[in-house]
Structure 1
Amino acid sequence: MQYHHVDVFSSRPYSGNSLAVFAQADGLTGAQMAQITKELRHFESIFLVPQGPMWTARVFDLLDELDFAGHPVIGAACVLHALHGLADEQTWTIQLKARTVGVTTRRGSRGRYTGVLDQGPAAFLGRPDSASIASWFSLRPSDLDPDLPPEIVSTGLRYLVLPVRGTALESARITIDLGIPLDGIGAQFAYLLDARQMEGRHWNNDGVVEDVATGSGAGCAAAYLRRHGRIGDGEAATLHQGRFTGRPSQMTIAAFGEGEDIRSVHVGGDVVFVGTGRLRELPQ
């Protein structure tokens, strides 16, 4: 079975967020997909199966299957463009467990691609008390942005968006498993956001693995920034992530709507092809 190794949210290889794309994954079970993902050890892997005019997709990281993800869908759409695209710009429909999304891809020079994912509408699910949240990330309450409240936002996955300031992004660390406390406030993951510097940071809930560029989290950040008037209606902005992993990444974000009525969130970026491979054997 063939797969494609791409880096997402970067214009140069060996930067951005690494991804393995299986463009024809018919017949694989979820258990096989999970085992392949652990074997390849990319940040995530995505497995596609054609279904008429669309593709169904299953996404795995090294721990779990994800109901929704940003960078795997953008990377997968660019692989589909390279394999099947007839025009310089095309739109692909990809069905995930959480929702069905459209990704518009454009072919550039020297085999470069860009993709823009429409994550659909955003939901705002509450503002938890910030008194103890800072300590979850080894921060002090004074490290939180006093002008922006913590808020749970979803465009497919429920993120606690936690605005910080100063050097908080650099000094943040996770020393406890966040699964239980996040569940207690109705969130699945956390995304630290410096709204002044337009930079974010995200880890697995155990704090062991830091993500390079989190498309799903960036979508929630875009909706949050629009709701609080930090970006204009439909205004494209650049969100940075990955500086602390040595793989700097740039995500273009935009949100359309007013207040809590955010009708659509876009997240996009560059995708570069690093290589292709073939599995000689599949897991039993």
Structure 2
Amino acid sequence: MKKQVFPFTMVDVFARQTLAGNGLSVFVLEQTLSAYMMQAMTREMRQFESIFLQKLEGQHRWRTHIFTMEEELGFAGHPIIGAAACLHQLYQPDSKTAEFEFVLNERSVFASSKQESGNFFAEMNQGKASFGEPLSASVAENFLKALNLHAHDQVADLPLQVVSTGLPYLIVPIQQHLDKARICHEKFEALLASVGAKFVYVLDVQRREGRTWDNEGKVEDIATGSAVGPAGAYMVRHLRAQAGDTQIFAQGAYVHRPSELHVSLNAEDETVLVHGQVCLVAKGELYV
């Protein structure tokens, strides 16, 4: 039986250079694939996430599916950023800028890419952030304990709060011991669900450095666009940053993949913009 051939591009997202940032596999498809097949291909690539793109009618519109090793996501940041730069490089290499619409299962996300001196920088509009109620001190203490932290690690005048631009993250603002943070609760996913969160983002407010993991605490993410957008909105809401200014967040140092993520809030409509550099790493073909 003849095998199908699927070309792919590998990129590092939110990276100042190759072999840093968050890796991503980008597949541009000529035919529709089943969720089972896309999941299997993602596991074969063994990146944190793979993104599958299929051209739609209309200029620059792409049907989009994003998979982790475990499941399909309704939204994720670094795959959209990486895909925008990749499509720019593949289909509009002579243009300084390019714009795309990524049509996910339940929403569309708009992203743009620009190239400067051979480097690609992409930006996505995550829309307006939504905020849950700040957690009470007793509930916050439970989460801090579940993250191997203590009440004195929390920034005193900042609450733990769920913020979302597509994926709801519990923002945990701390002033010290980011290096000690880890998930040490057997049912952490259920604990998050009790406050309406999908994941956690532990944020050193002064250093603007964050960490997040899968909910079993086994795998730390390298650069999380879907988390840093809410984190930037949180900083503006609590007067630690101003709308219109660019905030630069660090992530990934604890897994030896330093990443740099840029966030800004539109001063007029409060939409969240996340952007960063994307580095081309490799091209190849997958035989299935």
Change (3 A) 1:98 1:243: farther
Q: Distance in 2 between matches of 1:97 and 1:158?
A: 17
Q: Indicate the percent of aligned positions where both proteins have the same amino acid.
A: 37
Residues 25, 47 of structure 1: 8 Å contact kept: no
Which residues in structure 2 correspond to 1:1-284 (within 5 Å)? 1-24=6-29, 26-52=31-57, 53=59, 54-85=61-92, 86-110=94-118, 112-129=119-136, 130-166=140-176, 168-176=177-185, 177-257=187-267, 263-281=270-288
Residues 115, 269 of structure 1: 8 Å contact kept: yes
1:156, CA displacement in angstroms? 0.4
1:256, CA displacement in angstroms? 2.7
Change (3 A) 1:19 1:119: same
Q: Distance in 2 between matches of 1:269 and 1:165?
A: 25
Name stretches of at least 5 consecutive residues in structure 1 with no aligned partner: none
1:25, CA displacement in angstroms? 5.6
Amino acid at match of 1:79: C
RMSD over equivalenced CA pairs, Å = 1.3
Per the normalisation by structure 2, the TM-score is: 0.93
Q: Distance in 2 between matches of 1:126 and 1:211?
A: 26
1:56, CA displacement in angstroms? 1.4
1:11, CA displacement in angstroms? 2.0
1:98, CA displacement in angstroms? 4.1
Deviation string 1:199-240 (CA, Å, 9 cap, x unpaired) is 111101110000000000000101101111111111111110
Amino acid at match of 1:125: G
Change (3 A) 1:158 1:38: same
Residues 141, 150 of structure 2: 8 Å contact kept: no
Q: Distance in 1 between matches of 2:287 and 2:11?
A: 20
Name stretches of at least 5 consecutive residues in structure 2 with no aligned partner: 1-5
Q: Distance in 1 between matches of 2:30 and 2:77?
A: 19
List structure 1 runs of 4+ shifted beyond 3 angstroms: none
1:28, CA displacement in angstroms? 1.0
Amino acid at match of 2:123: V
